[in-house]
Structure 1
């Protein structure tokens, strides 16, 4: 007998929900070699196989002529054959072999009469596979057989982008396929007989190909050919595109200005200090950064280097990075004026900054200072001169392993020497390479970014080391040192070793205290921000050389090997060695040269109204509006409390500084809920520079330490670790502490990039954008194959990071990932709006079968993601899903007499009143787009309680500051009687 298939939850649901259909849960049947799954978050009750040949069986009801069918989740790699037996006779075999993570209704093609008592048995005899079976059905009508379509959808050619060559351009082609497939793009010049082909390396459903080396101002034709895993093919129609550059938008404003406040908190005063800062602009206002002009407090034009970092979807400038020099007295602020608009032009630049590139060297002349980079080997720099005097005559990075082998950067050729930024104020060069021992064996990668400022006698070096090139989970080293050759050091001089946050060794003498990281040897200044905070650190002057201990030798240094400090602070500093998990990175900043200014350098602030009204940071209102005074006061106190918690807990150290500790009592938070993003938003709303400083620290830590940047297992690269002991896990065995997470994993449900993106746009830090892009590519390529999700925070956070990348880059690859996520999300929304699923222990406090339902905060995260998608697409079905989801939260979990929500749908779950984390962002948006009366009633009450429950703990304040700005804006509009 034949078996046919019905695909799609709606079609399956329609067949099984007919009044005359008889359906039975597999969980209620006789199980042999199967188990009732009560431990997963699968969308409904189901059973899974535990042994080959396992079966489920039942006695048929007396139901007359019926078609027998069953629903299986087709997820395993390979085939899952199921024999359908009736009274011991195999009548058909169904084979689940699509492996597409979708529900599949198999139905016998011929009906059979059931008098009652016939034994129906499903036998899973395949060698592998989970065989997740949901239900068995007896149907009066044969459901419609459906096939999985194999189509190419959403095909789009992006606008041509400038390439490194002025004579060629690039085009980006994006599309999706309805099956897991590999594709190739064939393209040719209009009228040409020759064809070029670009082929994908991997299977996927979200596709992107960049065509490089295209002629400018040319017409092209192309088509996409797609082959699925079974060898079936489909292809697109022939399309066309042009490489003619689109006209740049002029911008709607002719001439206007925004005030900028430059503040110098350092002492003493320093003339003409360099400033780098990103400024947002509303959509459509500014065409490009060419139309910017900066004036000092006296109204005189200041030399300005401006670049467009990000654009709105209409092509107008969204973010402009400003570089200039500011004259601001110590402890004072000065008003500058940024003029913008189509009629605004800068005067001619007068700058001493020049870059000379040859085959052998790259030389940057800043006026008083000259930096030379040697292309023949890898080193941060080969020479630095000030006023013709050689301050530095060589440099190298040296890594020593625990066996005493020495790996030196100058033994290998440099991998990259690239000028990333050049202009009248600042030049930035990226220099990358590795370190090798005397036998040519390599260890670790170093990335050096040199920033040289016009007219300044010093440079800034951002050095990032990456723990890579190992088949081992952990790599142990004895030390890593930046060695700097200098004629300024002619004898053994100072030796400072910061061993702990509050202890140091100076010239062999143990002392309490904290070294500020400022050192001078002769005429050479070496300044290391966050020196003591990022311990261990050292500085030593030797004859003809100074050594900066990035990871100084730990000989003779004792770190506690018991108690809380051991696993909290010193997990990587034991037994006289550094233990780094593969893929860990760390960035340190060093200023070198003469007369390095006091730190911190001046900061720039536009009015809070400007940041809020720009829309570039999302929807929010300024803190100074006076509407939510209690909230603003409590948030200001939370900053003090957050810092006090760090100090009280000594939350410092090279791998710790910038994160917060105490998640579930034992774990580092790994910036859960995106600490940097929430803090940047509060800085923009309030103008308090403390929030900016803390946001930057959080972004840098999370970007480097909590991300796996390299691995022998390619599947781990660019994964983000969830909260755990030691940030990356693996340092301690399971069960080391009750409730502690010792074996960290990667999960899109604990992954965010918004903070990295804002860090890039506000500071110009290219590494932050690169890491954000790699993370998003990981999840939006492989992570969208046959897309499905477990709980709502998985698709919620995935959608949030995906839409953030789309808005940051305008790359439709990310929008297409959003489409794939939303398609499945809408399909799985239950009739009550809540995406009900099986609830695991901790979400339901009853014995199986437990309640179905959800955790409120997870639905809230999903609503926040759907909001971003709806704002980008205007999809009416998504708007409806948001309103239904918000009303589900209220109907299912709101506790009216407490102004809070139950944690989950389980009636025994705890009451939660930290409502910023409970989905009220989605409730506010649902009210805004629908006028929902129930949402309008609950939103102000839930917000008032959320404000009352604000806490300075890392997890709580990160979650609150992420959602609160949008919520407060919606509440203000609600109270003012305004609705979209």
Structure 2
């Protein structure tokens, strides 16, 4: 197995075979194994290339060898079978047949598929299928307009992905606008040439900026867009049929309406509108005729639309993203992507987005049968070191069993969904922040959202890779799609400190009310806890990029990649400014703020925000290989810590206010491993980082204890602090490889002592089943991975203990040199809502 670059299994547990099943999975490759120009292939257990699968590079190592690939294509899977497949450099005899089965015409692409030809229009999201059926476009029925607004295409592009014997998948991307509306859409389609199946993903975005008066983000914002329904229209070559629960439903005019989740708590306060009222019309779904006759009803519908005798369509997670509809006539169907004209109007908030996936297939079985289960073999993944600190030894940690309770315990993540009915197009995939109920434990329902704090996307994907349990992937995939759409602020029209940022979780110990996933509501009480802000927006202390990046690398999700890159740009603006003179003056004013960069000295705060910023730059470097990001990371490190720091002045004994220094030191460990993977290492930067880490690790070995030993100084002493203490183990385990013998032994002893204490507390605490503690464990219970990651370099070059000098004048000179009155006015309008009227 280890002679191959990467390996995965795919299994069909059904008693029937699956033909031309779509496959998509990301895999890492060892450094220097496959060069960028080398062809790639997937092999079966006998070493025979699989001609229907292709390998698409998605990231590269610093030496320009391939780091990550996406395996995509189709497979035939026998009944009750499991195949093990390997990806590696292709032999010289592959890629011999490269004729693309498409013709670029003046108005469309024509593509050959098994049943005939398909046509993709350049002008609108129109697809013609071999049987004569058509996807005729996307339209928005806006509450303020009498007629639906048809989307038009403003950009069209395509590319072909080829395997050993030729083209395998055609990818098409279209950017859409809605005339007379600010709404924007992106349509990304993948046509599997071997089967003719089309997977279409449509993202609808309201790119306007919210008003957020007084730092509140409630529903009902003046820049919200209200829709009766966003839908795609399909013209049929015969009378469409609905397949639901094994039933075939057909009528001259028929409407399927999924009005709510159908679960017992379907009327949860989670579903309030801008008026703070729940107005869902009924439980579950109904299928009715034009005269109101109910043909079928139930709780959850997962329908398949049989467009013709040769074409079927399904929409992914139909009922989970209610309200949802399918309306049919004798020769057409309308499938809702957002909202339902049969129910109350839908509010798409400023900067909010929703992505839906449609699948068109000639096989009903491929749409109705459970998909095959893909498992990435963890041992080859660990050998690549492509995922920082990933180690199979983590499964031997005493906390591993506690984490699995996130799937199997009485209060597992799926049960948490049911508790507040975390379903519907805005909520599905989100995690219920049940720990925030601590001050009101007897309240029957407490609505609070987690918004990816401490990156459970990343933690769940790691659990999937370690255990192979598909439920971990299901949770991570649902959450990543939610975060990319709802928790990230999709606008460039607000001030730079907010635009593109990630919204905080629901404010501590208060309910979300009409803020939904935007933290602060005008309906929330004030002065709930010490230093309660009660208002604001996205901030650098809440920026988590690694999970979205890993999700993209494992799935190829464009939504996750775009959200990841948006977050990286945003957090850079948070700390480095927007490049305007006004922004520079504002940064100077904020320089003495505890959580802001000191623009005068160049010094960053020693906290989790800077740690998140450093991780984001390292994540972006891992994806794009731009040296600028590594240089930025070096600057951050050298202007946050130093081997000569007076640690006593950092007040690290003040646990309540300085605990987050460990977040930065974890990022520093990541920075060191990144330098160790470089082809040409900046020796001074490397030595500086290692010496700084040892300086602080030495202090930790002598002074650190469990945080709860200082409970009297904490406002809320709970086991979240113990879960945070896991970070200390990682730093101590990592630093041992760089320390002289005496210090290394001291670090190991402290690590073992804290490990036993942490395990004892968490094993005995019911709080270990709450969302925040579970997420912290998933992200941080990996001292084994930190211990195995170091590859110390022999760097003996002397280095100073101070960071390179930073002076304000070059910064101001650069700002003045790029001064633009138009740019200054534009940024002022973004910062001050009253000035936007002048735009």
Q: State the TM bucket, normalised to the shorter chain.
A: 0.7 to 0.9
Per the alignment, residue 717 of structure 1 pairs with 499
Per the alignment, residue 773 of structure 2 pairs with 956
SS at match of 2:549: helix
2:517 is the alignment partner of 1:746: no
- In the aligned structure 2, how far is the partner of 1:943 from the partner of 1:254? 33
Per the alignment, residue 820 of structure 2 pairs with none
- In the aligned structure 2, how far is the partner of 1:465 from the partner of 1:450? 15
- In the aligned structure 1, how far is the partner of 2:729 from the partner of 2:3? 40
Per the alignment, residue 256 of structure 2 pairs with 496
SS at match of 1:658: coil
- In the aligned structure 1, how far is the partner of 2:536 from the partner of 2:254? 41
Which deviates the most, 752-761 or 825-834?
Answer: 825-834
- In the aligned structure 1, how far is the partner of 2:787 from the partner of 2:98? 50
- Counting only pairs closer than 5 Å after superposition, residues 537-936 of structure 1 correspond to structure 2 as 537-553=324-340, 555=342, 557=343, 576-596=344-364, 597=366, 598=368, 600-622=370-392, 627-628=396-397, 630-640=398-408, 641-662=412-433, 664-665=436-437, 666-713=447-494, 715=496, 716-724=498-506, 725=512, 726-729=516-519, 732-735=522-525, 743=535, 745-781=537-573, 783-785=575-577, 786=599, 787-790=602-605, 792-826=607-641, 830-832=645-647, 835-836=650-651, 854-856=657-659, 858-873=660-675, 875-889=686-700, 891-895=702-706, 902=710, 912-915=721-724, 917-930=726-739, 931-936=743-748
Q: How much does 1:877 deviate?
A: 2.5
Per the alignment, residue 121 of structure 1 pairs with none
1:453-476 deviation line (CA, Å, top 9, x unaligned): 012132111111111247744332
1:703-731 deviation line (CA, Å, top 9, x unaligned): 11111112532523211111123112466
1:702 and 1:806, CA in 2 relative to 1: closer, same or farther beyond 3 A?
Answer: same
Per the alignment, residue 311 of structure 1 pairs with 60
- Counting only pairs closer than 5 Å after superposition, residues 278-297 of structure 1 correspond to structure 2 as 278-288=26-36, 290-296=38-44
- Counting only pairs closer than 5 Å after superposition, residues 175-190 of structure 1 correspond to structure 2 as none
Q: Pick the aligned partner of 2:301 from 511, 515, 525.
A: 515
Q: Pick the aligned partner of 2:118 from 346, 362, 371.
A: 371
Per the alignment, residue 32 of structure 1 pairs with none
Instruction: Report if the CA contact (8 A) 1:293-1:346 is conserved.
Output: no
Instruction: Report if the CA contact (8 A) 1:431-1:449 is conserved.
Output: yes
Superposed CA RMSD in Å reads: 3.4
1:361-381 deviation line (CA, Å, top 9, x unaligned): 1223233253322223x32x2
Per the alignment, residue 527 of structure 1 pairs with 314
- In the aligned structure 1, how far is the partner of 2:488 from the partner of 2:789? 39
- In the aligned structure 2, how far is the partner of 1:671 from the partner of 1:859? 20
Instruction: Report if the CA contact (8 A) 1:434-1:445 is conserved.
Output: yes
Instruction: Report if the CA contact (8 A) 2:313-2:358 is conserved.
Output: yes
Query: What is the aligned length?
Result: 672
SS at match of 1:302: coil
Higher relative contact order (CA 8 A, sep 6+): 2
Per the alignment, residue 450 of structure 1 pairs with 189
- In the aligned structure 2, how far is the partner of 1:688 from the partner of 1:696? 13
- Counting only pairs closer than 5 Å after superposition, residues 194-205 of structure 1 correspond to structure 2 as none
Per the alignment, residue 415 of structure 1 pairs with 154
Q: How much does 1:550 deviate?
A: 1.9
SS at match of 1:875: helix
1:213-261 deviation line (CA, Å, top 9, x unaligned): xxxxxxxxxxxxxxxxxxxxxxxxxxxxxxxxxxxxxxxx997465431
Q: Pick the aligned partner of 1:430 from 170, 173, 178.
A: 173
Q: How much does 1:276 deviate?
A: 1.4
Instruction: Report if the CA contact (8 A) 1:427-1:453 is conserved.
Output: yes
Q: How much does 1:312 deviate?
A: 0.9
Unaligned runs of 5+ in 1: 1-252, 558-575, 845-853
Which deviates the most, 695-704 or 510-519?
Answer: 510-519
Instruction: Report if the CA contact (8 A) 1:612-1:685 is conserved.
Output: no
SS at match of 1:705: helix
Q: How much does 1:924 deviate?
A: 1.8
1:260-307 deviation line (CA, Å, top 9, x unaligned): 311235675321212111111121222247443323356543113212
Which deviates the most, 872-881 or 793-802?
Answer: 872-881
- In the aligned structure 1, how far is the partner of 2:527 from the partner of 2:416? 22
1:169-195 deviation line (CA, Å, top 9, x unaligned): xxxxxxxxxxxxxxxxxxxxxxxxxxx
Instruction: Report if the CA contact (8 A) 1:493-1:540 is conserved.
Output: yes
- In the aligned structure 1, how far is the partner of 2:85 from the partner of 2:99? 23
Unaligned runs of 5+ in 2: 211-221, 241-250, 263-283, 438-446, 507-511, 578-598, 676-684, 796-839
- In the aligned structure 2, how far is the partner of 1:833 from the partner of 1:356? 70
- In the aligned structure 2, how far is the partner of 1:971 from the partner of 1:871? 12
- In the aligned structure 2, how far is the partner of 1:277 from the partner of 1:756? 15
SS at match of 2:459: helix
- In the aligned structure 2, how far is the partner of 1:969 from the partner of 1:704? 31
SS at match of 1:943: helix
SS at match of 2:413: helix
1:350 and 1:637, CA in 2 relative to 1: closer, same or farther beyond 3 A?
Answer: farther
TM-score by length of 1: 0.63
1:907 and 1:601, CA in 2 relative to 1: closer, same or farther beyond 3 A?
Answer: closer
Q: How much does 1:492 deviate?
A: 2.8
Instruction: Report if the CA contact (8 A) 1:916-1:960 is conserved.
Output: no
SS at match of 1:877: helix
SS at match of 2:227: strand
SS at match of 2:67: strand
1:517-554 deviation line (CA, Å, top 9, x unaligned): 32324333121121111111111212321111222336
Bigger proportion of residues as strand: 1
TM-score by length of 2: 0.73
1:836 and 1:289, CA in 2 relative to 1: closer, same or farther beyond 3 A?
Answer: farther
Larger radius of gyration: 1
1:875-928 deviation line (CA, Å, top 9, x unaligned): 223223223333444555514xxx966479779966732255443222222223
SS at match of 1:533: helix
Per the alignment, residue 102 of structure 2 pairs with 355
- In the aligned structure 2, how far is the partner of 1:972 from the partner of 1:782? 34
Instruction: Report if the CA contact (8 A) 1:526-1:591 is conserved.
Output: yes
